Structure 1
Amino acid sequence: MSTEAKAPRRPTLFLALVPVVLTLLLLALQLFYFSDFTPQIPLAIGLAITGVLGIYLGHDWSGLEEGVFRVITVSLPSVSVLIVVGMIIGVWIASGTVPTLIYYGLIILSPKIFLAAAMVMCAIVSLSLGTSWGTVGTVGLALMGIGAGFDVPMYWTAGAVVSGAFFGDKISPLSDTTNLAPAVTGQNLFAHIRNMMPTTVPAMLIALGIYVWAGFSLMEGVDGAAFERIDAITSALQTNFTISPWLLVPALLVVALAVLQQPPIPSLFAGVLVGGLVAIIAQGVTLHEVFQFANGGYKIDTGVSEIDSLLNRGGIQSMMWTISLILIALGFGGVLERTGCLQTIIAAILTKVHSFAGVQTAAIGTSFATNLVAGDPYLSIALPGRMYSPVYRGMGYSTLNLSRATEEGGTLMSPLIPWNAGGAFVITALGLGISSGNLENLLYIPLSFACWVTPVIGIIYAWTGLFSPRAGEAERQDWVDSDREITDMSQYGYEHPLTPADAQTVPAE
């Protein structure tokens, strides 16, 4: 009698969709029926449902557990960034760095160009730092304060901040997601960045134009009361903090380290240390208070509600809600991948598309759907990148198209999904109050124009053939030399499948 263990079965499309659909229904029930934005429990139940399905399919518990923890392990650098950013927020408020940014922003910036300026500032900082999260948690937080002073709705400011921060992250060679996308598709980093420009630049120009128009429209009725509020905020900041350009040293140090291409986590932590030193010297706080601010966040009562609501935040503990959500969402994504549910759904999609335009649209949509269901921007890049690469090679198209698609549906859509790692961080760091039931601030999602306009432009290019490169001679030769897998496209309804041996004969347009 054979003692060999049977290989787990691949789920049918129906079974693969069951945990996905049930989890989305639970999320909708929690968010829209109960008006309670705590997606951790629906996602945990979804993880359990998928685990039960995995057992039914023949997986053992240790294998499912390994699938969960493998994805969580990959995300630990991002969790580390969250912890450090939490410390930065608390310490930079105490040091006066954030209050100084708000003070000078209210004095220098014009209310009518504020939204456009906010997007551009975040784009520059994120491009330099290579981290959208670090940008949102530092410069983005200060911009939220400036916007409050100008009486700009929080969701408009948050939309501009997210547009700029995630644009910079997408094209920065220092960004982890920007490096991941070409890595999983077998492409060069800088070729990948260049190939993203045809979608990214127009999207940013469109967003910039909308923010300029919105700024003039929102500020058209600015009256004396608004300027009195700005005076009240700047006066309160001067009363409670020492305000000086020298207090921007922690922020400038972090930017300088990024320009020198130092790793993000130690660069951000250096900002924490220098910020703590500045807090002691300039604001007169004690070392013990710095420790408290880094762990539990800053606390102040100025009597000005706009300042108090903005500056009472930060610290490691403020990130625990976000971290718990990320870990559960990643665990859910990991078990979906381990049981083969995601792969089955992607394979079903490929049987329905029979053109490059269809495949490109499907790749963008799959990255977005993985973000939506699994809650992980890394999985939304890595999984479609692995699954679709042989298909692009089989069609003779450069996988640069795929690496761009995964960035458009992965990196840029991450902050627009509230229970995704990116969305959860944006909501927490910018103080949007979603967890307390203030669902109006979810309007930042459609107002983050650069994020969702980019994939729309990418889909238009796919269907028109613009900026959709075929594989060149060098890339086709690389397929042969590296023995990269090329999918037999006949299984998806194509008449002329390719093999590695004849891949180099694919005609280039």
Structure 2
Amino acid sequence: MTDNQKKGNSWALLPMLVFLLVYLVTSIVLRDFYKMPVSVAFLVASIVAIAMNKKESINDKVEIFCKGAGNSNIILMCMIFILAGAFAQVARDMGAVESTVNLGLSILPGNILIAGVFIIGCFISLSIGTSVGTIVALSPMAVGIAETINIPMGLALGAVVSGAMFGDNLSMISDTTIAAARTQGCDMRDKFKMNFKIVVPAAVVTAIIFIVINMGNTVVLEDHYEYSILKVLVYVSVLAAALLGVNVMVVLLGGTLFGGFIGIYTNAFDIWGFVKAIESGIMGMSQIIIISLLIGGIVEVIKFNGGIDFLLSFIKSKIKRKKGAELGIGILVSLVNMCTANNTIAIVTAGPIVKDIANEYEIDPRRSASLVDTFSCFCQGLIPYGAQLLVAASIAGISSIEIMRYLYYPYLMGACVLLAIAFGIPNLKKAHAN
């Protein structure tokens, strides 16, 4: 390979620049990051990618694009997204989320209400794998707490968002975990273990902060909350099976069937309601599936045209050591996240490039998966135009800026991952090649 080939071609990155211009610039001009659909922006970028490189025929370029979109990792990731969507919707429709929230509230003493909201948020997001779903479920309750005990609304919602981002980063069925593990080529359980060691200190300190803030408050919201242990078991079983190392597709399929059985048994829905919930859940994942396919094709074309080689060459010129490469991964993912306002899309977009960087600097796949997920969730939990803060703010009728000062967990998570890079923790044994 010649030096020019090794250095790559900067123009090959044009499709990603087009995406940023179409999506980011449009969103800034309109002051609405949800006006321009991300899928449309990536479709435009796909067209540009295929139109480039006049040396190749259109048929060959389409073939290259399809090869990337049909990559086994991309297809497997899409299948997991489908099963995760089905499980999440079935569990939601049969009342598992409501029961889990009410169970937590029924056992919380008044002097740790805010810390309790954070802990409940951690458990729910860890179980259902979606930060936005957790925020939608918990925010109305947090608003009621804030009004009852006379605390800032932003504080109560800060606890909700903090808890939601904990599970978004760690959950075995979170789309960020799925994307990070698949793009880096590691087992999701191994990625969980790595993440757990990095972010748990942040979660513990966050809980202590909320306890101190709410200390002395003895308000009890209600005398009784209705919940069903049977419905809570749906999440517990999925979480336990995932931690035991059961194949994620088996876990999700089993959880969906178990949730459907309990839903029918408790009359939450009938057999056709169960089927409808599955369909709704699958369709709810359609955008991220389509985006994953488009990104897979775009990245393959960029790689063929020398764009990945250019990025690696550029990064190598700026990075001298392994720790620098790890920090570079974090910066890369964070920048993409700020541009897309979606951490899953950021991981899917940057994942292949991160994988090449990790290979170049001999970074363990478990660690690169952990870094890419943690940095994306750290960034996503703080941007005021992200779905998480916008949803929470809209439910409470306040500005997302009012919540940002109370987002203790995302701030601490960012500090913990930087410390993990600086001190090389946790130490890893040699990973088996995937």
TM-score (norm: length of structure 1): 0.62
1:204 aligns with 2:203: yes
Equivalent AA in structure 2 for residue 391 of structure 1:
E
Q: Which moves more between the two structures, 146-155 or 81-90? A: 146-155
Q: Do the aligned partners of 1:384 and 1:406 also contact (CA within 8 Å) in 2?
A: no
Q: Do the aligned partners of 1:47 and 1:335 also contact (CA within 8 Å) in 2?
A: no
Residues 116 and 327 (structure 1), Cα distance of their counterparts in 2 relative to 1, 3 Å cut: same
Which of 366, 384, 389 is residue 332 of structure 2 equivalent to?
A: 366
Paired residue for 1:144?
Answer: 139
Matches of 2:402 and 2:136 in 1, distance apart?
18
Residues 31 and 358 (structure 1), Cα distance of their counterparts in 2 relative to 1, 3 Å cut: same
Paired residue for 2:89?
Answer: 86
Q: Do the aligned partners of 2:84 and 2:173 also contact (CA within 8 Å) in 1?
A: no
Paired residue for 1:502?
Answer: none
Residues 172 and 102 (structure 1), Cα distance of their counterparts in 2 relative to 1, 3 Å cut: closer
Residues 179 and 132 (structure 1), Cα distance of their counterparts in 2 relative to 1, 3 Å cut: closer
1:372-430 alpha-carbon deviations (Å, 9 max, x no partner): 5675365367424521233223xxx76665344233234655666799xxx76x589xx
Paired residue for 2:421?
Answer: 462
CA shift, 1:361, in A, is 0.4
CA shift, 1:192, in A, is 5.6
Paired residue for 2:78?
Answer: 75
Which of 318, 342, 352 is residue 383 of structure 1 equivalent to?
A: 352
Q: SS at the partner of 1:440?
A: coil
CA shift, 1:362, in A, is 0.5
Matches of 1:21 and 1:165 in 2, distance apart?
31
Matches of 1:166 and 1:330 in 2, distance apart?
22
Paired residue for 2:117?
Answer: 118
Equivalent AA in structure 2 for residue 117 of structure 1:
G
1:4-24 alpha-carbon deviations (Å, 9 max, x no partner): xxxx999732551x4334433
Q: SS at the partner of 1:376?
A: helix
Matches of 1:202 and 1:24 in 2, distance apart?
35
Q: Do the aligned partners of 1:100 and 1:248 also contact (CA within 8 Å) in 2?
A: yes
CA shift, 1:150, in A, is 1.0
Question: What does residue range 149-160 of structure 1 map to in structure 2 within 5 Å?
Answer: 149-151=144-146, 159-160=158-159
Residues 68 and 115 (structure 1), Cα distance of their counterparts in 2 relative to 1, 3 Å cut: farther
CA shift, 1:200, in A, is 1.6
Equivalent AA in structure 2 for residue 272 of structure 1:
G
Residues 214 and 451 (structure 1), Cα distance of their counterparts in 2 relative to 1, 3 Å cut: same
Q: Do the aligned partners of 2:77 and 2:178 also contact (CA within 8 Å) in 1?
A: no
Matches of 1:80 and 1:340 in 2, distance apart?
30
Residues 56 and 441 (structure 1), Cα distance of their counterparts in 2 relative to 1, 3 Å cut: same
Matches of 1:337 and 1:189 in 2, distance apart?
23
CA shift, 1:359, in A, is 1.2
Paired residue for 1:251?
Answer: 232
Matches of 1:104 and 1:177 in 2, distance apart?
27
CA shift, 1:255, in A, is 1.1
Specify which structure has the bigger relative contact order, considering alpha-carbon pairs within 8 angstroms and separated by 6 or more residues: 2
Paired residue for 1:4?
Answer: none
Q: Do the aligned partners of 2:94 and 2:262 also contact (CA within 8 Å) in 1?
A: no
Q: Do the aligned partners of 2:172 and 2:239 also contact (CA within 8 Å) in 1?
A: no
CA shift, 1:203, in A, is 1.8
Question: What does residue range 187-226 of structure 1 map to in structure 2 within 5 Å?
Answer: 195-196=194-195, 199-213=198-212, 215=214
For structure 2, the residue ranges without an aligned partner over 5 or more in a row are: none
Equivalent AA in structure 1 for residue 260 of structure 2:
V
Which of 247, 257, 264 is residue 276 of structure 1 equivalent to?
A: 264
Q: Do the aligned partners of 1:187 and 1:400 also contact (CA within 8 Å) in 2?
A: yes
Matches of 2:366 and 2:76 in 1, distance apart?
27
CA shift, 1:74, in A, is 2.3
Residues 400 and 287 (structure 1), Cα distance of their counterparts in 2 relative to 1, 3 Å cut: closer
Matches of 2:207 and 2:262 in 1, distance apart?
34
Paired residue for 1:492?
Answer: none
- Which of 1 and 2 has greater Rg? 1
Q: Do the aligned partners of 2:112 and 2:211 also contact (CA within 8 Å) in 1?
A: yes
Equivalent AA in structure 2 for residue 12 of structure 1:
N
Q: Do the aligned partners of 2:90 and 2:274 also contact (CA within 8 Å) in 1?
A: no
Equivalent AA in structure 2 for residue 20 of structure 1:
M
Paired residue for 1:13?
Answer: 10
Paired residue for 1:52?
Answer: 48
Q: SS at the partner of 1:361?
A: helix
1:355 aligns with 2:327: no
TM-score (norm: length of structure 2): 0.70
Q: SS at the partner of 2:203?
A: helix
1:148-167 alpha-carbon deviations (Å, 9 max, x no partner): 32136776555534544553
CA shift, 1:33, in A, is 3.7
Equivalent AA in structure 2 for residue 361 of structure 1:
L
Paired residue for 1:339?
Answer: 301
Matches of 1:459 and 1:446 in 2, distance apart?
20
Matches of 2:181 and 2:383 in 1, distance apart?
24
Q: Do the aligned partners of 2:90 and 2:259 also contact (CA within 8 Å) in 1?
A: no
Matches of 1:410 and 1:451 in 2, distance apart?
10
Q: SS at the partner of 2:361?
A: helix
1:103-157 alpha-carbon deviations (Å, 9 max, x no partner): 5655543555233223323434565x4x523x864x6654334213213677655
1:255-310 alpha-carbon deviations (Å, 9 max, x no partner): 13542456133214422331233136xxxxx748x729955xxxxxxxxxxxxxxx
Q: Report sequence identity in percent.
A: 16
Q: Which moves more between the two structures, 19-28 or 372-381? A: 372-381
Residues 76 and 155 (structure 1), Cα distance of their counterparts in 2 relative to 1, 3 Å cut: farther
Paired residue for 2:65?
Answer: 64
Q: SS at the partner of 1:354?
A: coil
Q: How much is the aligned-residue C-alpha RMSD, in angstroms? A: 4.8
Q: SS at the partner of 1:340?
A: helix
Equivalent AA in structure 1 for residue 322 of structure 2:
F
Equivalent AA in structure 1 for residue 34 of structure 2:
T
Equivalent AA in structure 1 for residue 317 of structure 2:
T
Q: SS at the partner of 1:150?
A: helix
Residues 267 and 136 (structure 1), Cα distance of their counterparts in 2 relative to 1, 3 Å cut: farther
Residues 39 and 338 (structure 1), Cα distance of their counterparts in 2 relative to 1, 3 Å cut: farther
CA shift, 1:358, in A, is 1.6
Q: Do the aligned partners of 2:122 and 2:167 also contact (CA within 8 Å) in 1?
A: yes
Question: What does residue range 286-301 of structure 1 map to in structure 2 within 5 Å?
Answer: 287=270, 291=273, 295=277
Equivalent AA in structure 2 for residue 376 of structure 1:
I
CA shift, 1:85, in A, is 1.6
